[in-house]
Amino acid sequence: MDILSAILAAQGGGASRQLGQQFGLNDDQVGSALSALVPALAAGVSRNAASEGGLGALIGALSGGGHQQYLDNPGSLGQASTVQDGNNILGHILGSKDVSRQVATQAATQTGISPDILKQMLPMAAAMMMGAMSKGLSQQPQQGGGLLDMLTPMLDSNRDGSAIDDVIGSVGKWLGGSGR
> pLDDT at position 165, please?
52
- Lowest mean pLDDT, pick from 84-93, 131-140, 154-163: 154-163
**pLDDT range class, residue 172, cuts 50, 70, 90:** very low
pLDDT digits (tens, 9 = 90+) for 107-149: 999 999 999 999 999 999 999 999 988 887 776 554 445 555 6
Pick from 121, 80, 86: nearest CA to 104: 121
* Gap between the Cα atoms of 170 and 11, Å rounded: 36
This prediction's pTM: 0.78
State residue 56's pLDDT score: 81
Q: Give me the residue spans of the domains in the chain.
A: 3-177
| Spatial contact of 52 and 59, defined as CB atoms under 8 Å apart | no
Q: What is the mean pLDDT of residues 87-100?
A: 90
pLDDT band at 55 (very low <50, low <70, confident <90, very high): confident
Residues 6-19 have a mean pLDDT of 91
Sign of CA dihedral 154, 158, 159, 161: negative
Q: Are 134 and 68 in contact (CB under 8 A)?
A: yes
